[in-house]
Structure 1
Amino acid sequence: MGRSARNKVARQKRILEALQANAAVRVGALAEALGVSGETIRRDLAELGSEGAVSRTYGGAVAKPILQEPNWRIRHGEFREERRKIAQLASDLIAPGDILILEMGSTVMHLAELLSAGGRDLTVITSSLEVALTLGRNDSIAVHLCPGVLDTREGSVIGAETEAFLQQYNATIALVGSTGVTREGLQESHTGIAAVKRVMLSRAKKRVALLDHSKFDQTSLVTACPLGAIDLLVSDRRPEGELAAALEQAGVEVRV
């Protein structure tokens, strides 16, 4: 990612943080706070609006609905160091000859980047176009891309065709992300993604969730699956309180 793109990701993250803190913010106030022109802010808001991250208003914007998430490209720029470490730890679980199922999501993309650079003799089944393209740069990784209905915000496919395609595979490890994790289970803001996640986890011998600490105790639209549907949680911090107790009761190993 070039410097200009990194600056834009950081700026848009700060815009989202300002909206979460103040609900509604004017273009002029954002421009002054971030040290850029009003036109730059308007372009950022237009892009965030097209991705469902904010709602535009006359002269400004308001915070996104609570159950929605920003486009995966914006999320990919958040908690980068933590997510890289999670991806590195997850990569230690993978050996040549493994058959992987990889979901979409920002932390899974960090893992895909690592595997593209150093993975050998792997077979990967994925619903994510970006994961498939990233892994496709490595000639020793065979990539099977799921068919289905394209979700442009997430860069992945969903639907009955996706689920049926996944049912034919037997994987060594499934690695998934999630909108959040609570004592009820893995959370999702999209019912179609939740359905694909359930099938992915059901087709693997080892089931792994890759979640940074910002996802702890975050509830969303639907509980995709109970905690018992995963074997291992890889994170940058150890969960505490009710979540820690629920993970232990469900027999989920936690690696930090």
Structure 2
Amino acid sequence: MPLIRPVFAGDTALRIGKKQRQQSILQELNLHPHVRVATLAERFDVATETIRRDLDALSANGLITREFGGASARPMDGQPNLADRQSSAVPGVNDIGRLAADLVHPGDVVMIDAGSTVAQLGPYLGLNGVILGGIRRTLITNCYAVVQGMGDVSDRDDVVMCPGQFDPRENAVYGSDTIDFLRRFHANIAFIGASGIASDGFSDANRRAVAVKRAMMERADATWLMVDHSKFDHCALESIAPLDALTGIITDLLPPANFISQLRDAGIKLMTAQGQ
């Protein structure tokens, strides 16, 4: 079966950008188990070295398996599990959790996504609960790691765990039951994670997680994206939403200057350990 041709102008393939080309490669691997460098270079009318760089970038993001002369699809369970991602997290990831927790106020209803960076929110929510006291917060999450990180908060907060299909690799639940449950609530704020963020939006390698993130965003007044600096200028398997769907981004280090300008123009807030 021939490769999909993503863009046409008559019988001539048009040149497309790097991110669109990489997305087209991922789409091709959804249909065929292996792609070759030479075939892709001819299809996209670019040099073989350009395709090799595309494949290297996709492999570095854990989206494909690099092979001699090409690449093969990497199944979702090939992604490192939550514990492995937490153990290899960048040093500043704790600061992301601390900054996020400072945005939560007494009485808030908070939706919290699953993921290695978002899970850093748990301990700081637990600590802030002790300091703040008073009016209880309602914390709704699909991630057991978040709840475990909070410690014993039963006397300070109402913690609501979503139903759904349990994924032991992510220590979280997903599926239609999770989404339907989330849509029963209204939240003041949602915290979500992503595998990548670029000028055209943010994305994730786990397709089941994308639907949960979108449901949380739909039901919250404000959405904050928690990502470390390594996620910038990366594009993962499935798009979650464009940047303007966000209230703000919490990260450890300042992103590139052109990206900061884009966020400022779009009215998206930026919080980092280096200063806001």
- The 5-angstrom pairing of residues 24-43 of structure 1 reads none
**Paired residues of 1:183 and 1:242 also in contact (CA < 8 A):** no
Cα deviation digits, residues 132-173 of structure 1 (max 9, x gap): 333362121211111111222111111111111001111111
- Cα distance change, pair 143–250 in 1 and its aligned pair in 2 (3 A): same
Aligned to 1:97: 107
The runs of 5 or more residues in structure 2 that have no matched partner are 1-61, 66-71
What CA RMSD, in Å, does the superposition of the two structures yield over aligned residues?
A: 2.5
- SS of the equivalent of 1:97 reads coil
Structure 1, residues 82-120: CA drift from partner, whole Å, max 9, x if none?
011111111111111111100011122111011123324
- 2:97 is matched with 87
Alpha-carbon contact 1:117-1:138 (below 8 Å) kept: no
Distance 2:96 2:75 in 1: 26
Q: CA deviation at 1:53?
A: 11
Are 1:158 and 2:174 counterparts? yes
Change (3 A) 1:122 1:64: farther
The Cα of 1:194 is off from its aligned counterpart by 0.5
Paired residues in the alignment total: 198
Distance 1:110 1:223 in 2: 23
Name which one, 1 or 2, has greater alpha-carbon Rg.
2
Q: Which amino acid aligns with 1:243?
A: F
Instruction: Give the equivalent residue in structure 2 for 1:37.
Output: none
Give the Cα separation in 2 of the matches to 1:255 and 1:143.
26
Cα distance between partner residues in 1 of 2:210 and 2:63: 20
Q: Distance in 1 between matches of 2:103 and 2:73?
A: 36
Unaligned stretches of 5+ in structure 1?
Answer: 1-51, 56-62
Hey, what does 1:135 align to over in structure 2? Answer: 150
Q: Which residue of 1 aligns with 2:248?
A: 232
Match of 2:160 among 144, 164, 167: 144
**TM superposition score normalised by structure 1:** 0.70
TM-score by length of 2: 0.65
Match of 1:115 among 125, 142, 145: 125
Aligned partner letter, 2:97: A
